[in-house]
Amino acid sequence: MLPDISHLIKKLDSLGYVVEEEFATILLLMLKLKKPLLLEGPPGVGKTEASQIIASYLNTKLIRLQCYEGLDVNSAIYEWNYQKQLLSIKLTESSALSSAEKESYIFGDEFLLKRPLLQAITESDKAPVLLIDEIDRADEEFEAFLLELLSAYQISIPEMGTIKANHLPIVVLTSNRTRELSDALKRRCLYHWVPYPEFQKELAIINKHLPDINQVLASQLVKFVQYLRSLKLDKSPGIAESIDWAEGLIALGAKAFTHEYIDKSLGVILKSDKDITNIRGQGIDSILNEIET
């Protein structure tokens, strides 16, 4: 392992994020090449959190854009403050300014509402981390627009001209793979698939979040969750759910990982009625037996 990488792993670990060698290598590469990073993987494996950690590692600001179907340029890049513009037109009505002057005034910085993408490239002191979350939910048109932004790092506003990035932002895109992203977007990014964590890693993550947890309980819980993931469930539990579950069990005052507590708190880890009846039908005790062997 390169010394830079082991250093990065240690640093992230001290920030509370458990990262394995592969991911650390890619993070290092991203910082060196200044290329966007596309993280794909099932929900709840810590894709979004990765960008938060990068931001705190670099000690910079995190700007987040949550994508959704129908996300348009107005809510992603910028919008004019229309109310303010109208008021200003009224106020300057009787002034001696020419119409060209009025125009350049009301299309000035003061009337511009910056949305995440514009914010990210106009940040003045330090390159921010720009998180474009769940890009697979946005429309393809928006994806096409992102291409321009990600290759040139500039945005053109017809009334003001082209705005170039002061500092190239560090861009992280995440996707749950509900649809395939376009090749054009993919080839502009580094790609990393974030899988569900291995047993040791997940245990380490839970210990990070809940340092006081009973070790036997934690390891049994992780085994149980890993077993659940191996089944064909409607919604497999992510790491976030494991942490919630561990927290929940502590709150319930559980000293051991027993049938009674599992049954009570199954709703924390399984989020679908079908899955819950399925697991109850299979018998919690028999699952407990199985993970022990």
Partner 1 sequence: MQHYNNYSGLEASVLGFCELCRSHELSIGLNHSEEALMAAQSGFINDSKSFKIALRSIFCSCEEEHSIFDRCFDIYWRKKRHEYMPKTRTRKQTKIIKQTKESVVLVGSGDEEETKKDGARTVSGANKMESLRKTDFSKVQDIDHLLMDELAEKLLLQLNHRLKRRLRASKDGKIDFRKTIRRNLSQGDNFFELLKKNRKFEKYRMIILLDVSGSMDKYSFYLLKFIWTLKSNFKNIEAFVFSTKLLRITEFIEKVQIDQAMLQMNTNSDHWSSGTVIGKCLQEFNDQYSKMVLNGRSITVILSDGLDTGEPELLSEELKKIKLRTSKVIWLNPLKGMEGYEPLAKGMKAALPEIHTFESAHNLESLMELEKYLSHV
Positions in the binding site for partner 1 (CB under 8 A): 1-2, 4-5, 21-22, 25-26, 29, 32-33, 35, 37, 40, 69-70, 72, 80, 82, 85-86, 89-90, 93, 99, 102-103, 106, 140, 179-180, 183, 186-187, 190-193
Integer Cα distance of 52 and 259 in angstroms: 36
Nearer to partner 1, 38 or 249 (CB): 38
What is the smallest separation between the CB atom of 256 and partner 1, expressed in angstroms?
Answer: 37
Residue 36 vs 63, nearer CB to partner 1? 36
Nearer to partner 1, 160 or 288 (CB): 160
Contact 262, 284 (CB under 8 A): yes
Nearer to partner 1, 57 or 80 (CB): 80
- In the bound state with partner 1, the residue whose beta carbon lies nearer, of 21 and 148, is 21
Quote the least distance from Cβ 187 to partner 1, whole Å. Answer: 6
Q: How far is the CB of 190 from partner 1 (least distance, A)?
A: 4
Least separation, in Å, of the C-beta of 41 and partner 1?
Answer: 9
Nearer to partner 1, 219 or 236 (CB): 236
Nearer of residues 15 and 29 to partner 1, judged by Cβ: 29
DSSP the chain: --HHHHHHHHHHHHTT----HHHHHHHHHHHHHT--EEEE-STTSSHHHHHHHHHHHHT--EEEEE--TT--HHHHTEEE-HHHHHHHHHHTTTS---HHHHHHHHTSGGGEEE-HHHHHHH-SSSPPEEEEETGGGS-HHHHHHHHHHHHH-EEEETTTEEEE-SS--EEEEEE--SSPPPHHHHTTSEEEE--PPPHHHHHHHHHHH-TTS-HHHHHHHHHHHHHHHHS--SS---HHHHHHHHHHHHHTT-SS--HHHHHHTHHHH---HHHHHHHHHH-HHHHHHHHH-
**Shortest distance, position 2 Cβ to partner 1, whole Å:** 5
> What count of Cα atoms within 13 Å lies in the side-chain half-sphere of residue 261?
18
Shortest distance in whole angstroms from residue 60 CB to partner 1? 21
